[in-house]
A = this chain, B = another copy of it.
Amino acid sequence: MEYDIKTHKREELIDITEYILQSIRKSNIKEGIVVVFTPHTTAALTINENADPSVKEDVLEFLNRKIPKECNIFTHLEGNSDAHIKSSLFGTSLNLIVSNGQLILGTWQGIYFCEFDGPRSRKFYVKIIRDNL
Protein backbone atom coordinates (compact mmCIF):
# COMPACT_ATOMS: atom_id res chain seq x y z
CA MET A 1 0.00 0.00 0.00
CA GLU A 2 1.16 3.50 -0.81
CA TYR A 3 0.46 6.51 1.40
CA ASP A 4 0.94 10.22 0.71
CA ILE A 5 1.54 12.75 3.43
CA LYS A 6 2.23 16.42 3.53
CA THR A 7 4.81 17.84 5.93
CA HIS A 8 4.60 21.40 7.23
CA LYS A 9 8.00 22.32 8.65
CA ARG A 10 11.66 21.75 7.82
CA GLU A 11 11.93 19.18 10.62
CA GLU A 12 8.91 17.33 11.90
CA LEU A 13 7.93 13.94 13.33
CA ILE A 14 4.48 12.89 12.09
CA ASP A 15 2.64 10.01 13.75
CA ILE A 16 1.67 7.46 11.05
CA THR A 17 0.69 4.63 13.40
CA GLU A 18 -2.95 4.80 12.30
CA TYR A 19 -2.01 4.20 8.63
CA ILE A 20 -0.06 1.07 9.56
CA LEU A 21 -2.92 -0.24 11.70
CA GLN A 22 -5.32 0.41 8.81
CA SER A 23 -3.08 -1.58 6.41
CA ILE A 24 -3.03 -4.47 8.85
CA ARG A 25 -6.82 -4.45 9.28
CA LYS A 26 -7.34 -4.41 5.50
CA SER A 27 -4.95 -7.30 4.97
CA ASN A 28 -6.76 -9.47 7.50
CA ILE A 29 -3.39 -10.94 8.47
CA LYS A 30 -3.13 -13.06 11.62
CA GLU A 31 0.61 -13.80 11.80
CA GLY A 32 3.40 -12.10 9.89
CA ILE A 33 5.56 -9.05 9.51
CA VAL A 34 5.17 -5.52 8.21
CA VAL A 35 7.81 -3.54 6.30
CA VAL A 36 7.40 0.24 6.08
CA PHE A 37 9.63 2.04 3.57
CA THR A 38 10.04 5.67 2.55
CA PRO A 39 11.61 6.50 -0.85
CA HIS A 40 13.24 9.79 0.18
CA THR A 41 16.87 10.64 1.00
CA THR A 42 16.14 13.52 3.38
CA ALA A 43 13.44 11.78 5.44
CA ALA A 44 13.31 8.69 7.63
CA LEU A 45 11.06 6.45 9.73
CA THR A 46 11.36 5.76 13.44
CA ILE A 47 9.49 4.42 16.45
CA ASN A 48 9.46 6.47 19.63
CA GLU A 49 7.31 7.81 22.47
CA ASN A 50 3.75 8.78 21.59
CA ALA A 51 2.66 10.27 24.92
CA ASP A 52 4.59 13.40 25.90
CA PRO A 53 5.21 15.61 22.82
CA SER A 54 8.35 17.02 24.48
CA VAL A 55 10.19 13.83 23.48
CA LYS A 56 9.69 14.62 19.77
CA GLU A 57 10.88 18.18 20.36
CA ASP A 58 13.96 17.03 22.28
CA VAL A 59 14.85 14.52 19.54
CA LEU A 60 14.61 17.14 16.77
CA GLU A 61 16.37 19.87 18.77
CA PHE A 62 19.19 17.52 19.71
CA LEU A 63 19.68 16.43 16.08
CA ASN A 64 19.79 20.07 14.98
CA ARG A 65 22.38 20.99 17.58
CA LYS A 66 24.63 18.07 16.66
CA ILE A 67 23.97 18.06 12.90
CA PRO A 68 23.35 21.72 12.00
CA LYS A 69 22.02 22.71 8.58
CA GLU A 70 24.85 25.23 8.27
CA CYS A 71 28.16 23.47 8.82
CA ASN A 72 31.46 24.53 7.28
CA ILE A 73 32.49 20.97 6.38
CA PHE A 74 29.52 20.40 4.07
CA THR A 75 30.17 20.72 0.32
CA HIS A 76 26.81 19.57 -1.14
CA LEU A 77 25.41 22.61 -2.92
CA GLU A 78 21.75 21.92 -2.14
CA GLY A 79 22.58 22.81 1.48
CA ASN A 80 20.73 19.87 3.00
CA SER A 81 23.56 17.47 3.89
CA ASP A 82 22.35 17.52 7.49
CA ALA A 83 19.05 15.99 6.34
CA HIS A 84 20.85 13.25 4.36
CA ILE A 85 22.91 12.34 7.43
CA LYS A 86 19.85 12.25 9.71
CA SER A 87 18.10 10.01 7.15
CA SER A 88 20.93 7.43 7.26
CA LEU A 89 21.12 7.59 11.06
CA PHE A 90 17.42 6.90 11.60
CA GLY A 91 16.93 4.74 8.48
CA THR A 92 14.32 4.67 5.74
CA SER A 93 12.61 1.43 6.72
CA LEU A 94 10.98 -0.24 9.71
CA ASN A 95 10.13 -3.83 10.60
CA LEU A 96 7.12 -4.74 12.67
CA ILE A 97 5.60 -8.01 13.85
CA VAL A 98 1.92 -9.05 13.72
CA SER A 99 0.83 -11.81 16.10
CA ASN A 100 -2.72 -13.06 16.82
CA GLY A 101 -3.96 -10.44 14.36
CA GLN A 102 -2.44 -7.61 16.42
CA LEU A 103 0.48 -5.33 15.68
CA ILE A 104 3.10 -5.74 18.39
CA LEU A 105 3.77 -2.21 19.60
CA GLY A 106 4.65 -0.99 23.07
CA THR A 107 2.16 1.07 25.09
CA TRP A 108 4.31 4.17 24.60
CA GLN A 109 5.42 3.48 21.04
CA GLY A 110 4.20 5.43 18.04
CA ILE A 111 5.42 5.02 14.45
CA TYR A 112 6.77 8.27 13.00
CA PHE A 113 7.54 9.68 9.59
CA CYS A 114 10.60 11.93 10.07
CA GLU A 115 10.81 15.00 7.85
CA PHE A 116 14.29 16.53 7.83
CA ASP A 117 14.08 18.85 4.80
CA GLY A 118 10.46 19.97 4.45
CA PRO A 119 7.90 21.14 3.97
CA ARG A 120 7.25 18.67 1.13
CA SER A 121 4.87 16.09 -0.26
CA ARG A 122 6.15 12.71 0.86
CA LYS A 123 5.33 9.04 0.40
CA PHE A 124 5.71 5.82 2.30
CA TYR A 125 4.87 2.21 1.49
CA VAL A 126 3.58 -0.59 3.67
CA LYS A 127 4.09 -4.25 2.75
CA ILE A 128 2.61 -7.07 4.78
CA ILE A 129 4.09 -10.56 4.61
CA ARG A 130 2.06 -13.45 5.94
CA ASP A 131 3.68 -16.20 7.92
CA ASN A 132 3.02 -19.39 5.98
CA LEU A 133 3.27 -21.84 8.83
Q: Which A residues lie at the B interface, using CB under 8 A?
A: 31-33, 35, 37, 39-41, 46-49, 52, 54-55, 57-59, 61-63, 65-67, 71, 73-78, 81, 84-85, 87-97, 99, 104-109, 125, 127-133
Contacts and interface: CB of A to CB of B under 8 A. Distances in A.
A85 B71 CA distance: 21
Contacts of A105: 39
B97 A35 contact: yes
Given A33-B127, A54-B77, A62-B74, 4 more contacts: A54-B81, A58-B76, A127-B131, A128-B131
Contact of A52 (B61, B78, B132): B78
A127 to B, nearest CB: 4
14 contacts: A35-B96, A37-B95, A39-B106, A41-B49, A47-B93, A48-B84, A58-B74, A59-B84, A59-B85, A62-B71, A89-B90, A93-B96, A97-B127, A128-B131
Given A32-B129, A61-B73, A131-B130, A55 B39 contact: no
A125 B106 contact: no
B49 A84 contact: yes
